[in-house]
Amino acid sequence: MSAVIQIDNILSEYESAVRTDDPEEALSDLLTVQPKYDISKRCPRCLTQEIKDEIGFCLKKNAIKIATGLRKQRMLKKDIDI
Protein backbone atom coordinates (compact mmCIF):
# COMPACT_ATOMS: atom_id res chain seq x y z
CA MET A 1 0.00 0.00 0.00
CA SER A 2 2.85 2.40 0.77
CA ALA A 3 4.24 2.00 -2.77
CA VAL A 4 0.96 3.32 -4.16
CA ILE A 5 1.18 6.33 -1.85
CA GLN A 6 4.76 7.00 -2.93
CA ILE A 7 3.80 6.83 -6.59
CA ASP A 8 0.90 9.22 -5.96
CA ASN A 9 3.29 11.62 -4.22
CA ILE A 10 5.77 11.47 -7.08
CA LEU A 11 3.04 12.07 -9.65
CA SER A 12 1.63 15.03 -7.74
CA GLU A 13 5.13 16.56 -7.42
CA TYR A 14 5.67 16.07 -11.16
CA GLU A 15 2.32 17.61 -12.07
CA SER A 16 2.92 20.63 -9.84
CA ALA A 17 6.40 21.08 -11.38
CA VAL A 18 4.93 21.01 -14.90
CA ARG A 19 2.39 23.71 -13.98
CA THR A 20 5.01 26.24 -12.80
CA ASP A 21 6.18 29.24 -14.83
CA ASP A 22 9.48 27.53 -15.69
CA PRO A 23 8.69 23.80 -15.95
CA GLU A 24 12.14 22.81 -17.23
CA GLU A 25 13.90 24.26 -14.20
CA ALA A 26 11.30 22.82 -11.82
CA LEU A 27 11.66 19.38 -13.38
CA SER A 28 15.46 19.50 -13.21
CA ASP A 29 15.20 20.49 -9.53
CA LEU A 30 12.76 17.65 -8.95
CA LEU A 31 15.00 15.10 -10.65
CA THR A 32 18.15 16.12 -8.77
CA VAL A 33 16.68 15.69 -5.29
CA GLN A 34 18.36 12.90 -3.31
CA PRO A 35 15.97 10.12 -2.27
CA LYS A 36 14.99 10.03 1.40
CA TYR A 37 14.77 6.76 3.28
CA ASP A 38 12.95 6.50 6.57
CA ILE A 39 14.67 3.77 8.52
CA SER A 40 13.17 4.74 11.87
CA LYS A 41 10.12 2.49 11.35
CA ARG A 42 12.11 -0.60 10.42
CA CYS A 43 12.34 -3.38 12.95
CA PRO A 44 14.98 -6.11 13.06
CA ARG A 45 14.03 -9.48 11.67
CA CYS A 46 13.77 -12.41 14.04
CA LEU A 47 15.40 -15.65 12.98
CA THR A 48 12.68 -18.17 13.75
CA GLN A 49 12.81 -21.93 13.39
CA GLU A 50 10.54 -21.68 10.34
CA ILE A 51 13.06 -19.43 8.59
CA LYS A 52 15.94 -21.73 9.58
CA ASP A 53 14.05 -24.69 8.09
CA GLU A 54 13.43 -22.80 4.84
CA ILE A 55 17.10 -21.83 4.55
CA GLY A 56 18.11 -25.44 5.24
CA PHE A 57 15.72 -26.64 2.53
CA CYS A 58 17.25 -24.22 0.02
CA LEU A 59 20.77 -25.35 0.92
CA LYS A 60 19.78 -29.00 0.46
CA LYS A 61 18.34 -28.18 -2.98
CA ASN A 62 21.64 -26.45 -3.81
CA ALA A 63 23.63 -29.53 -2.76
CA ILE A 64 21.45 -31.73 -5.00
CA LYS A 65 21.89 -29.36 -7.95
CA ILE A 66 25.66 -29.28 -7.49
CA ALA A 67 25.80 -33.09 -7.25
CA THR A 68 23.81 -33.48 -10.48
CA GLY A 69 25.97 -31.02 -12.39
CA LEU A 70 23.60 -28.05 -12.30
CA ARG A 71 26.09 -25.78 -10.55
CA LYS A 72 24.93 -22.65 -12.35
CA GLN A 73 21.30 -23.19 -11.37
CA ARG A 74 21.89 -23.12 -7.62
CA MET A 75 20.46 -20.35 -5.47
CA LEU A 76 22.74 -17.55 -4.33
CA LYS A 77 22.62 -15.84 -0.95
CA LYS A 78 20.45 -13.05 -2.34
CA ASP A 79 18.01 -15.64 -3.73
CA ILE A 80 17.72 -17.42 -0.37
CA ASP A 81 17.34 -14.16 1.61
CA ILE A 82 13.92 -14.54 3.13
What is residue 37's predicted lDDT score, i.e. its pLDDT?
Answer: 77
Tell me if 44 sits within 8 A of 60, measured CB to CB. no
Is residue 81 within 8 Å of residue 68, measured between CB atoms?
no
Question: For the chain, which residues score pLDDT lower than 50?
Answer: none
State the DSSP code for 20: S
What pLDDT shows up at residue 55? 93
Of 36, 38, 46, 43, which is closest to residue 13 (Cα–Cα)? 36
- Res 48: pLDDT: 93
pLDDT, position 2? 66
Which is nearest to 45 in space by CA: 56, 59, 36, 55?
55
pTM over 0.75: no
